[in-house]
A and B are shown apart, each in its own frame.
Chain A
């Protein structure tokens, strides 16, 4: 039983196709993420669902109703913009109450109070947007959308203007509120880590198409093509012919092979502990070492191409730049594309 259905939606601007035959379905209460590079059409798809853009071809259904031709105010969807878009002349309270007043709902006061409580903004009711921090403004924007009890909540990169720490805490909070209200949510981001931690389901988009959909772990462990492999997991993607040459074996068939950087291991040349049953070995040298938090990333140059190898950072165990190494490639971790 799907709650949101997008059926073969196509949309173009002038002579450029921005959404190319997109179909997807969501279950009620699901947290779905549209993930893709800048310009791939994520915002356009979201805005089409909200009714802020029309579509050229295709249908959009929510809860069994065809909403393709409804105006935004009839669709019962809520949206949070990247730039918050709070009304600058209204207090926090009035911003959140605006929609309720428009719909002439009863008990405005208590509903707004509950919402302010939920997004943890007690004491800020009478503040104006310009008196709030970015994170607080984003909470107001979220509350303003949620208080309407929309059928679907749309979030267009709501956290991307915030710094890393606040971003992390708001991710958690957003997820908590989403679960608490059991609200069907479509979240847009181009940050794959954010998509992984928050989503029940990810739709990877490229050039106006959905190229793969699935749970975060499905997408991460079995990418369907080079684009997803590179975009999601920083996979090492290697041409099959080149790979055959490097490992001196033609055991694998296919066009390309993708290997995640964290399944590779490095050993010094000489201390050969290569298990030929389980692994292949590729000789090379360390071209570069970089550190991203707790992960050490080696860039290993081989005779044909460079490989990324990720290690958890342990004290004292580190290869120097220029060191000659052998990369151990576990056979069962190789994904054929």
Chain B
């Protein structure tokens, strides 16, 4: 009995660096952020001024709305593409599957400034493809502006897809071939199999992936910053300019916006989870 306890303490001790890391870099800042958000600009008076400021400012509400829209749109699009892409990957031989996953894995880490820069080089005003196509004559990119809403969404979707594929692919292994066979023997078509069995079985992973993608793009900062600078009104860009700009620092307001950012993510996760339980009653 004592021996086991000793062993447990030993194991806990090994966990200590990790716990300290989590406290120091995750829980600590989170608590500080929440606390900060309830102070007035002077940092002394406790108040909910910051939240009032945000909800009274059309500009900040616009930022929240923009972030929500771009995150929802890019997450939904990426999940749909990834569900189809991951399924196609499962149809290749094991060797090719591994290679494709490796590529997905690599590209899923490709974001932030390097990604934006690559897009600028390829599709910017003087980008390779932009110039190439205008020389050839087929003006495919004539109406396309990388530094716009469309451009931003394109880049967001681009960096979300590989991550989504990586997250959804494993759950296809959980779909048994015999379910398909049983369904077809019972008179079901391929479509009805996916509608009634395949997609519902994948649903937890689709929903989980959606939550991650949503949070990922809500919080994405460097990619957007490099591409549109502060020309575009996004929540993450506003927070950055409030806590790190060279004009006017307002850390308390930034914190309050950070809290709202976190709240939307948690809200999205809660909503997703609820929706999923309604469809997958067996998981209750």
- Note whether A and B form a binding pair: yes
Stretch at the interface among A23-31, A80-88, A112-120, A204-212: A80-88
- The answer on a CB contact under 8 Å between A88 and B201 is yes
Return chain A residues, CB-CB under 8 Å to B196: 87, 90, 98
Task: Tell me, yes or no, whether B95 is within 8 Å of chain A by CB.
Answer: no
Considering only residues 171-195 of chain B, those with a C-beta below 8 Å from chain A are: 176, 178-179, 181-189, 192
User: A52-B181, A72-B181, A102-B192 in contact; A89/B187 too (CB < 8 A)?
Assistant: no
Task: Tell me, yes or no, whether B197 is within 8 Å of chain A by CB.
Answer: yes
In the assembled complex, the Cα of A81 lies from the Cα of B183 at a distance in Å of 12
State how many residues of chain A have any CB contact under 8 Å with chain B.
28
Name the distance in Å between A71's Cβ and chain B's nearest Cβ. 7
Task: Tell me, yes or no, whether A65 is within 8 Å of chain B by CB.
Answer: no
Contact of B178 among A85, A103, A145, A148 (CB under 8 A): A85
Contact of A102 among B178, B186, B201 (CB under 8 A): B186
Residue of A nearest to B201 (CB): A89
In the assembled complex, the Cα of A88 lies from the Cα of B182 at a distance in Å of 13
Which of B182, B184, B200 gathers the greatest number of chain A CB atoms within 10 Å?
Answer: B182
Return chain A residues, CB-CB under 8 Å to B187: 73, 99, 102-103, 148
Task: Tell me, yes or no, whether B282 is within 8 Å of chain A by CB.
Answer: yes
- The answer on a CB contact under 8 Å between B179 and A77 is no
Name the distance in Å between A217's Cβ and chain B's nearest Cβ. 33
The contact sample of 29 A-B pairs, CB cut-off 8 A, is: A52-B181, A52-B184, A52-B185, A71-B184, A72-B184, A72-B185, A73-B184, A73-B189, A77-B185, A79-B181, A79-B185, A83-B178, A85-B178, A85-B179, A88-B282, A89-B197, A89-B200, A89-B201, A89-B281, A89-B282, A90-B197, A91-B281, A102-B183, A102-B187, A102-B192, A103-B187, A144-B182, A145-B186, A148-B187
Residues of B within 8 A of A (CB): 176, 178-179, 181-189, 192, 196-197, 200-201, 280-282
Residues of A within 8 A of B (CB): 50-52, 71-73, 75, 77-79, 81, 83, 85, 87-91, 98-99, 102-103, 128-130, 144-145, 148
